[in-house]
Chains A and B, each alone.
Chain A
Amino acid sequence: MTVNNTIAHQRLILSGDRERFKELLRKRLIECGWRDQVRMLCRDVVKERENSDVSFDMLVNRVTPRARALVPDTVKKELLQKIKTHLLTQKDQ
């Protein structure tokens, strides 16, 4: 992370906009069914190992690559575009 990035990041937290973006992303992921899909992926992993313990790290390692690939392009684009517009309007203040 560069210094500029850090400042932009801090500003986002300070204004609460980071939470707002997070909430927006959360909503979109629920809306498009992503969360349910990921839930099913997790369930499959747990089922596979019926008799042994499942740890969080193992779940993350197994599910993350597939979960990332499932995020729709439209959601990524919308977030990217909105964050960009937002940072540009904040820049000269």
Chain B
Amino acid sequence: MRGRGVPLQYIIGSQPFGDLDIKCARGVLIPRWETEEWTLKLAQLLQYQQLIEQDQNSSRPHSQMTVVDLCTGTGCIPLSLASKLRNTVAYGVDISQKAVKLFKSNIKSVNRSRRLDKRNSKVIPAQGDISIDPYVFCEKTGITDADIVTANPPYIGRREFFSQTERSVRLYEPHQALLGGLEFYRWIYDLSVHLQAKGLVCEVGNAGQIDFMRSLGAKNGWSSSEFHDLNGHPRAVVMWKDPSWSFLEAL
């Protein structure tokens, strides 16, 4: 199978992601190391922020944190964040039934290690389409608000898809998880505003997508920065509405 270009992770059935072993199955995108890189960094930043907060109001009970990950696929992002943070509810939303099913099974296996319970955190799966009206979206998914929104939406354009993707990606990974453009960034931004998110981190495939997001936010008082991966490629746009979330700039 491997000889025919089937990705190793589909054969083995998993891919390491931080400390987690994320289950993989055909029909759902395999998590990338670039995503792992920024997710772990983000987890560290939020972890650190929680510590500071705890220091400042040691008398009050720990405050809750709500993470909403859009286009969640295997759920690698919310699972990573929730397994590192305290008192966190992390939602993961995906349009694909296959993805949600795999996500649920990943939640189960992470739960087995008690990583989430120990921190009083949980991960909630939801099926949903981010392109629909935000009110309807919230109704359907049961999500009412967010402290931080994360997303790794499909970001490969049609032309690029044939010229610049790896054969095995093209042949074996779901196109719904790969093909997309600026419309996804618009939906994510609108939802973030609707959920009154204080911060937003969104993976990108090129600098144009970053610029698009930053310009959307700038009109409404969002500050922003960009994240480059270990290979030096622009990889994520980082935005914060609330000045107390400017620590995200360190990503």
- Chains A and B bind each other: no
